[in-house]
Chains A and B, each alone.
Chain A
């Protein structure tokens, strides 16, 4: 089993979670966000390399000492890492149990893929974008239904404390009132950790 990667970024200091972490960015994404930062994740030529779970674990072991000493570990992002949930499960089984595993996902995947990784992941960073189906579709090009289903799935399992929900203000797509409304809907599901931030978009001079 191999997964396509767009990058591995080592020695991130308290960026993706606690301690020293390595970001593993997967290729492929079901969404096409207007302001996507890593477009190579959905461009065919964007694949940097392929790796098996064993190869990836071996590569990350180089920083095992740092991970253990600082309580860090690995952040799985992309692209959409849950497109490779089987890979992730195998990879996590090869990692030392002390490593923390962080997952950055849009959750716009079938629930089985999320369910598969639940035993492996310590914390989830979910790019919600906006809870309004129309805004979501306009900005991401995708259907919000899988995200909603997966958020309910996490809430039903009382995993809210292990989830950080990202709620950006997206110029030309949503408003602060939309964002507030999104947060209220998510709070109703029991989520409490929100990362609210603003995209500021301007033409480069």
Chain B
């Protein structure tokens, strides 16, 4: 699975950084696996054990070992909202593999199957990011924030009415970033935190099909504003 591969690549980058920092010869084994990836595998685990062995040798020889915090930025930069179950099966948060099939059948108090999607707050920063055409996209709080027509409740209603829950049993947070143009149209939607291919695709579809927003304003003038909607797909 794509997210497993993403985790695998991130962990590999961390291993490389540990090796380079401590002058350990380390060539990650080339992975030819084409099926589902759980983010780790016996080969990856063996590489971790190799690095641990090399670090132990260096300690025994009295050599300094650098480890704490050397990859602090890496996981943050590459962080994703994947909720991965105990290895090696993936897909549903905090549930042992043997119970995954059951999760799909779990309903709320009623007999109806429900889906719960959570929309955490908008992520903004106060930086200004230049774009190619020299129009600035305000990546943060503007005097008048852009608004979905009808407000947040209408946005929720839009999501509720239009969401097509992926067939796969998946839960987690998809974060979609996009720009609200001066005319309220949506552009540049992209997933910046992924859950699964299907969930990401659905999140993008929802964002791209949104009606025009009321654009953000600065000094009374419409401005292009970057907006981020983190969403969590949850099954009940």
Contacts and interface: CB of A to CB of B under 8 A. Distances in A.
Those 6 A-B pairs whose CB atoms lie nearest each other, nearest first: A14-B79, A197-B120, A48-B96, A25-B94, A69-B71, A13-B79
Interface residues of A, number: 50
Interface string B16-28: 0110000000000
Contacts of B18: 65, 69
Interface residues of B, number: 67
Interface of B: 7, 10-11, 14-15, 17-18, 39-40, 45, 48, 51-52, 55, 67-72, 74-76, 78-87, 93-96, 98-99, 102, 106, 108-109, 112-121, 152, 156, 159-161, 163-165, 171, 230, 232, 234-236
B153 to A, nearest CB: 8
Interface stretch (A36-44, A117-125, A145-153): A36-44
Interface of A: 6-15, 18-20, 23, 25, 34-40, 46, 48-49, 62-66, 68-72, 77, 98, 168, 176, 195-205
A69 B83 contact: no
A77 B117 contact: no
28 contacts: A7-B86, A7-B94, A7-B95, A11-B84, A12-B83, A13-B79, A13-B80, A36-B236, A37-B235, A38-B94, A46-B99, A62-B45, A65-B55, A66-B14, A68-B68, A69-B69, A70-B14, A70-B69, A72-B75, A176-B152, A195-B121, A196-B121, A198-B118, A198-B119, A200-B117, A201-B115, A201-B117, A201-B236
A180 B38 CA distance: 40
Contacts, number: 177
A16 to B, nearest CB: 10
Determine which residue in A13, A68, A197 has the highest number of CB atoms from chain B within 10 A of its CB, and name it.
A13
A11 B39 contact: yes
Nearest to A49: B96
B121 A197 contact: yes
A202 B163 contact: yes
Contacts of A20: 11, 14, 75
B86 A8 contact: yes
Given A6-B95, A10-B86, A37-B234, A69 B115 contact: no
B94 A6 contact: yes
Given A9-B94, A12-B82, A201 B48 contact: no
A39 B102 CA distance: 11
Contact of B108 (A13, A15, A34, A49): A34
Nearest to A69: B71
Given A62-B48, A66-B14, A199-B117, 15 more contacts: A10-B39, A10-B40, A11-B11, A13-B7, A20-B11, A35-B114, A37-B116, A48-B98, A49-B96, A65-B67, A68-B68, A70-B69, A198-B119, A203-B113, A204-B115
Contacts of A63: 48
B69 A35 contact: no
A48 B100 CA distance: 12
B74 to A, nearest CB: 6
A14 B76 contact: yes
Contact of B114 (A68, A72, A198, A203): A203
B42 to A, nearest CB: 12
Contacts of A199: 116-118
Contacts of A14: 75-76, 79-80
Given A11-B39, A38-B94, A204-B114, A68 B67 contact: yes
